[in-house]
Chain A
Amino acid sequence: MRELFDPETIVVIGASGKEGKVGNLIFRYLSESKAEVYPVNPNEAEISGKKCYRSVKDIDADMDLAVICTPAKVCVENVRECAEKGVRFAIPIAGGFGEVGEEGKKLEGAMRRCAGEMRILGPNTLGVLVPGVIDTMFLERERSPRPKKGRIALISQSGATAATIMNGANLYSIGFSAFVGLGNRVDLNENDFIEYFSDREDTDAIALYLESFADGMKFREIVEKCEKPIIMLKAGRSTAGAKAAASHTGALAGSDRIVSALCDQYSITRVYDEEELIDTSRALAYSEPMRGGRIAVLTTAGGHGVIATDYITSEERGVGLSLSQLTPRTREELKKLALPFASLANPVDLTASATDEMYLKALKALMEDDNTDGVLVSVLFDPPGMTERLIDGIISMKGGKPMVIYTVGAEMSVNAIRRFEEAGIPAYPSIWRGVRALYALYRRGVNE
């Protein structure tokens, strides 16, 4: 896969000098990579000062990757030429294939047949993105800013969905190790990429968006071997039309329940929306799993402690875990902070009189508490004694037991999340999202 994710030579078929054209955008963005990029377009002599070729076959160099920007009908012929040229990977980006009906399916069949040993990603795809290395996405960066480099690989059957997710992730400086848009999967599919990312050093979690499985039996085989956390958003859950129920088993099954069983059985974290997909991927990528379900909560707002307790301990609208019973030693440590109104049982509420120093001492005590498996830390800047210096102090405690931050507020909170993100500590903008992340760490620990 090196030639796909880090090519040395790229040919852009259908490259264009005209602004606004897909072939222009792709050629421009690819030209920023360290790869040698060759434009192909029979109607142009030169693009951005580079010699333009009539056909890929006219280029006197080996090609790692072809990005094909031509429309569906021409595209198949371009794929054939690339295969004959010996190109290693091709990304036909055009739509108008299997997704539009029978005619398109025939084109896909023709494409598959002429590919030979060349591997195809797509068609109908945004291709691949490795921040700082390669970007085949045809979306303008002004409207669709790319994420920075991170530890999460995103594999998506829908390119547009992934683009919006990565765009939104920029708000909190969330990075990705790579993105792959699967498109119509005439050749390469999710199984190939899960296998690839499970060996890739720069990836600590694999986030999947799927609407269907290309090869379910192979999927089982691959996820069973994968040691990295896999987080899956499987859409298309509702079953259209009731099945004729010949048996109770048939009536009760439905393919979505089988997907849930699969996730339980193979330790895949199943999520139900795009926010949870990234929230959970960050938790599992950045933190060790929890070794039990006992959580300590540290806050400066009493109500936050109560809300968090409900989420942590409730089976309904909660995660059904427990609050840790702090050890006598931890309680002694907390007592030394000597705040008159503070609640020193779990949840630990240092009240609005808290200062950075007290807060960090309390956090240290909780991180060292023998009865606690994970800590939920609220970072609220409303109390006058709490400043942004707190962030560095918390970051310095990374590496102990699992710790999840949540913060509620405006700019200071958004900035805090960015800082924690850069330090590789999972941080979220609500109590619930913090608790949910801890639960994902707990489940991962149970399954290991």
Chain B
Amino acid sequence: MNEFEAKRLLQEHGIEVPNGRLIRNRDEARGLGYPAVLKVCSEKILHKSDVGGVHFVRNEGELTKALDDLLSRFPNEQFLLEEMIEEKGIETIVGVGWDRDFGRFIMAGIGGVMAELYGDVAFRLLPIDRTNAIALVDSLRGKRLFHGFRGMRVDSEAFYDLLLKVAQIAEENDIRDMDLNPVLLTEKRAIVLDAKIVEGRK
């Protein structure tokens, strides 16, 4: 499923995602407001930023230019136009995978583009309860980020809630791979800024 579909699925289960809609041309692009993010939305493109498939736009002129650029390079694709989330917070990663021995698992940790560099993530086999979710976060090297580090407060309860919901969605929909990165965790909420979901078992 593409990013738009993935985010709708998350939203249906009470997970916060940015307001947004799918567009194919200039006419459909109006009316969301600025600043905004325009991304190519395709199951085939796994790393959008690597192929220049993401634009940040502050006004209609920039949006038009960005859309023309994406249309010229990805003529057969759709595009996701979303409000830009500018709240302060920490970037986390939440994922789901399938282990051939032990079945479905959830992963969470420090996210963003540096996620793989730091590798500060932890795992739990599904199903999980809240105690497991808390233990997972507490086993991270950067666990202090989740409990208010240097005056930066975040809503860790919202993060545990998100983990439990993601676990539930993965089990109910037979999801093989899920990659939510980044998930912005702020003082008030956890909001999924990017999402990839692949259904089925390996």
Contact = CB atoms under 8 A, between A and B. Distances in A.
Interface of A: 212-213, 216-217, 219-220, 246-253, 255, 257-258, 260-262, 264-265
A216 B107 contact: no
Interface in B70-126: 93, 95-97, 99-103, 105, 107, 109, 111, 115-116, 119, 121-125
A250 B102 CA distance: 15
B97 A253 contact: yes
A220 B99 CA distance: 13
Contacts of A217: 101-103
Contact of B125 (A220, A248, A252): A220
Given A253-B107, A261-B123, A247 B101 contact: no
B178 A249 contact: yes
Contact of B101 (A246, A253, A258): A258
Contacts of B116: 248, 251-252
A219 B107 CA distance: 21
B185 to A, nearest CB: 16
Contacts of B122: 261
Given A220-B125, A258-B123, A261-B122, A249 B179 contact: yes
A446 to B, nearest CB: 10
Given A247-B177, A248-B181, A261-B125, A255 B101 contact: yes
Contacts of B139: 264
28 contacts: A213-B101, A216-B101, A216-B103, A217-B103, A220-B125, A246-B177, A247-B46, A247-B95, A247-B177, A247-B196, A249-B95, A249-B96, A249-B97, A249-B178, A252-B109, A252-B119, A252-B121, A253-B107, A258-B99, A258-B101, A258-B105, A258-B125, A261-B105, A261-B124, A262-B125, A264-B124, A264-B135, A265-B125
Contacts of A265: 124-125, 132, 135
Contacts of B132: 265
B124 A249 contact: no
A274 to B, nearest CB: 23
Contacts of B119: 252
A53 B111 CA distance: 69
10 smallest A-B Cβ distances: which pairs? A249-B95, A216-B101, A261-B123, A247-B179, A216-B102, A258-B99, A213-B101, A249-B97, A249-B179, A252-B121
A248 B93 CA distance: 9
A246 B132 CA distance: 27
A307 B97 CA distance: 42
A255 to B, nearest CB: 6
Contacts of B124: 261, 264-265
Nearest to B179: A247
Nearest to B120: A252
Nearest to B107: A249
A212 B101 CA distance: 9
Given A246-B46, A246-B177, A252 B103 contact: no
A264 B102 CA distance: 14
Contacts of B121: 252
Contacts of B101: 212-213, 216-217, 219, 255, 258
B123 A253 contact: yes
A47 to B, nearest CB: 44
B179 A248 contact: yes
Given A261-B122, A265-B132, A252 B115 contact: yes
Given A249-B107, A261-B122, A255 B181 contact: no
